[in-house]
């Protein structure tokens, strides 16, 4: 019987577990997750007002519930168990750790209060237990740097009024902050032209349906080309103006050069394609320029990913998802990629009579590690739904300690 460890329980890891069991129905698969709860990007990355997208977690939940799969939540590789120990315990190990670190622009002022990466910001409004508040108030103007779907998510979340979050699982702390801000202008800025923007058209078009905000284009003359995105932007520019509290202003062909402020952010400076300086006042800026993989114990990424050849890092060590290819594609992209890697692992992996999950449990017990199994996750899931108020999709537990106590009880014993 093959024993396989998957480090990470986001879309890539869960899809891989599913496909592996289709090819190796007798395999034992253990999914390790550093947080007490599963689903990674689905739970803490997908926008809280897009519950239809988050619904794929029900598919992943069925994967984790299978008899051949064991969930080890609150187990961090490098803290609780070493990668070389996992390699000795399992016939194959897969890095499905995603890309958790925000890329940096490398320009002056990037560490000013008020400048935040999209990963940190998205984690905050999604209630990630390690996320921190942005730390600024009296935000009248916000600048979002990037021309991808994350930039659209951030703009939409900032632009919505409280009633537009009905049915979402947006974090309560974030909502309290948002409603207190005198926000008037959101700038979405890209260094390339509109035709090169990476927005998904229907998500861009959703901005035109908001109640509290309306999208405009700063330079409609520059909307060249005939792509669906350009057509939607052109419709924004040509629509009859509505009187709304907030305006979402799209800018293109501007390269950020500096964040400027005395103790906190006051403006963002850009350079146009013609070399002119453009200054946008801002009390907050969110950089949506991509993410990088973090080290996983002794496995070190290079240029934001783990070096690999078609998903293989080394003998019996593999990688999948954003940790393999970088933060590109959509959730279904992970399904296709996981299927391909599962086929490779099934062909290459041979049972080595290694201890697998039994050996991991023994190791964790010896080290007094509190881990959350699938039953513990179900207790967290039930508790979050039980505390959910009217008009809410879910009220997440806000700290890892609260999750552990809910899953394991006050004594902190794993099952």
Q: How do residues 223-272 score in pLDDT, each as one tens digit?
A: 988 899 999 999 999 998 899 999 999 999 999 999 999 999 999 999 99
415 belongs to a structural domain? no
* Paired residues of 259 in beta bridges: 268
Q: Is 257 helix (H, G, I), strand (E, B) or coil?
A: strand
Coil, helix or strand for 323?
A: helix
pTM, entire model: 0.94
Question: Sign of torsion, CA 168 169 170 172?
Answer: positive
Residue 414 resides in a domain = no
Closest to 128 measured CA to CA, from 54, 11, 46, 203: 46
Q: How far apart are CA 46 and CA 41, in angstroms?
A: 6
Both 272 and 193 in one domain: the answer is: yes
For residue 28, is it within any domain?
yes
Render each residue's pLDDT in the chain as its tens digit; 415 residues. Answer: 899 999 999 999 999 999 999 999 999 999 999 999 999 999 999 999 999 999 999 999 999 999 999 999 999 999 999 999 999 999 999 999 999 999 999 999 999 999 999 999 999 999 999 999 999 999 999 999 999 999 999 999 999 999 999 999 999 999 999 999 999 999 999 999 999 999 999 999 999 999 999 999 999 988 988 899 999 999 999 998 899 999 999 999 999 999 999 999 999 999 999 999 999 999 999 999 999 999 999 999 999 999 999 999 999 999 999 999 999 888 999 999 999 999 999 999 988 889 999 999 999 999 999 999 999 999 999 999 999 887 788 999 989 999 999 999 876 555 4
347: helix, coil or strand? helix
Structural domains of the chain, count: 2
Query: What Rg do the C-alpha atoms of the chain give, in angstroms?
Result: 23
Structural element, H or E, at residue 266: none
Q: How many helices (H) and strands (E) does the chain have?
A: 15, 17
Same domain membership, residue 387 and residue 342: yes
Predicted pLDDT of residue 411: 62
Task: Centre a 10 Å sphere on the Cβ of residue 409 and count the other Cβ atoms it contains.
Answer: 12
Beta bridge mates, 287: 117, 145
- pLDDT for 147 equals 95
Same domain, 137 and 222: yes
DSSP state of 194: G
User: Is residue 214 a part of any domain in this protein?
Assistant: yes
Burial class (CB in 10 A: 0-12, 13-18, 19+), 317: middle
Kind of pairing, strands 284-287 and 115-117?
Answer: parallel
pLDDT at 330: 86
Partners of residue 412 on adjacent β-strands: none
CA distance 283 to 142: 6
What CATH number does the domain containing 210 carry?
3.50.50.60
* Domain annotation covers residue 354: yes
| pLDDT per residue as tens digits for the range 46-92 | 999 999 999 999 999 999 999 999 999 999 999 999 999 999 999 99
Name the pairing type of β-strands 3-7 and 312-314: unpaired
Same domain, 122 and 177: yes
Q: Would 413 be classed as within a structural domain?
A: no
Residue 355 token pair: 């201890």
Structural domain containing residue 186: 104-287
With respect to residue 334, please indicate whether it lies within any of the assigned structural domains: yes
Spatial distance between the Cα atoms of 230 and 196, rounded to a whole number of angstroms: 9
Q: To 10 degrees, the CA torsion angle through 150, 156, 157, 161?
A: 180
Same domain, 9 and 154: no
Same domain, 251 and 117: yes
Residues 394 and 320 in one domain: yes
The residue among 363, 366, 378 whose CA lies nearest residue 408 is 378
- 8 A C-beta contact, residue 343 and residue 23: yes
Q: Are residues 178 and 305 in the same domain?
A: no
Q: Same domain for 176 and 266?
A: yes
pLDDT at 392: 81
Q: Of 255, 287, 319, which residue sits at a domain end?
A: 287
DSSP bridge pairs for 319: 95
Please tell me whether residues 146 and 216 are part of one structural domain. yes
- 150 shares a domain with 72: no
Query: Which domain-ending residue is among 287, 314, 336?
Result: 287
In a domain, 54, yes or no: yes
Distance, CA of 260 to CA of 253 (rounded, Å): 20
Domain boundary among 287, 308, 327: 287
The CATH number of residue 333's host domain is: 3.40.50.720
Residues 281 and 295 in one domain: no
Specify burial of residue 398 (Cβ count, 10 A radius: 0-12, 13-18, 19+): middle
Q: Residue 353, exposed/middle/buried by CB under 10 A (0-12, 13-18, 19+)?
A: exposed
């Amino acid at each position: 019987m093959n024993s396989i460890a998957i480090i990470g329980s986001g879309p890539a890891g869960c899809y891989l577990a599913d496909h592996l069991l289709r090819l190796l129905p007798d395999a034992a698969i253990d999914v390790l997750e550093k947080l007490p709860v599963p689903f990674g990007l689905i739970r803490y990355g997908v926008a809280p007002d897009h519950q239809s997208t988050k619904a794929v977690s029900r598919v992943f939940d069925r994967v984790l519930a299978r008899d051949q799969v064991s969930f080890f939540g609150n187990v961090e590789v490098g803290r609780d168990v070493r990668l070389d120990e996992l390699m000795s315990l399992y016939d194959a190990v897969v890095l499905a750790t995603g890309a958790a670190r925000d890329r940096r622009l490398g320009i002056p002022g990037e560490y000013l209060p008020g400048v935040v990466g999209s990963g940190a910001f998205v984690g905050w409004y999604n209630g990630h237990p390690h996320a921190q508040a942005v730390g600024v108030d009296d935000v009248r103007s916000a600048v979002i740097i990037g021309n991808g779907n994350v930039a659209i998510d951030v703009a939409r979340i900032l632009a919505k009024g409280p009633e537009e979050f009905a049915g979402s699982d947006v974090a309560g702390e974030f909502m309290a902050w948002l409603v207190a801000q005198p926000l008037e202008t959101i700038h979405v800025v890209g260094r390339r032209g509109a035709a090169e923007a990476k927005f998904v058209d229907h998500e861009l078009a959703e901005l035109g349906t908001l109640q509290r905000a309306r999208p405009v284009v700063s330079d409609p003359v520059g909307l060249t080309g005939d792509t669906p995105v350009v057509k939607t932007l052109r419709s924004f520019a040509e629509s009859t103006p509505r009187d709304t509290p907030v305006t979402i202003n799209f800018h293109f062909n501007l390269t950020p050069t500096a964040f400027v402020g005395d103790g906190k952010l006051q403006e963002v400076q850009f350079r146009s394609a013609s070399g002119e300086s453009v200054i946008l006042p801002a009390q907050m800026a969110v950089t949506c320029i991509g993410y990088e993989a973090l080290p996983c114990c002794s496995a070190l990424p290079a240029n934001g990913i783990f070096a690999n050849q078609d998903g293989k890092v080394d003998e019996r060590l593999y990688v999948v998802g954003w940790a393999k290819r970088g933060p590109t594609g959509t959730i279904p992209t992970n399904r296709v990629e996981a299927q391909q890697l599962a086929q490779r692992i099934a062909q290459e992996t041979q049972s080595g009579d290694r201890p697998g999950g039994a050996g991991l449990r023994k190791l964790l017990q010896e080290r007094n590690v509190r881990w959350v199994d699938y039953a513990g996750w179900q207790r967290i899931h039930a508790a979050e739904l039980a505390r959910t108020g009217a008009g809410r999709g879910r009220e997440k537990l806000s700290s890892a300690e609260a999750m552990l106590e809910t899953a394991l009880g006050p004594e902190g014993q794993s099952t």
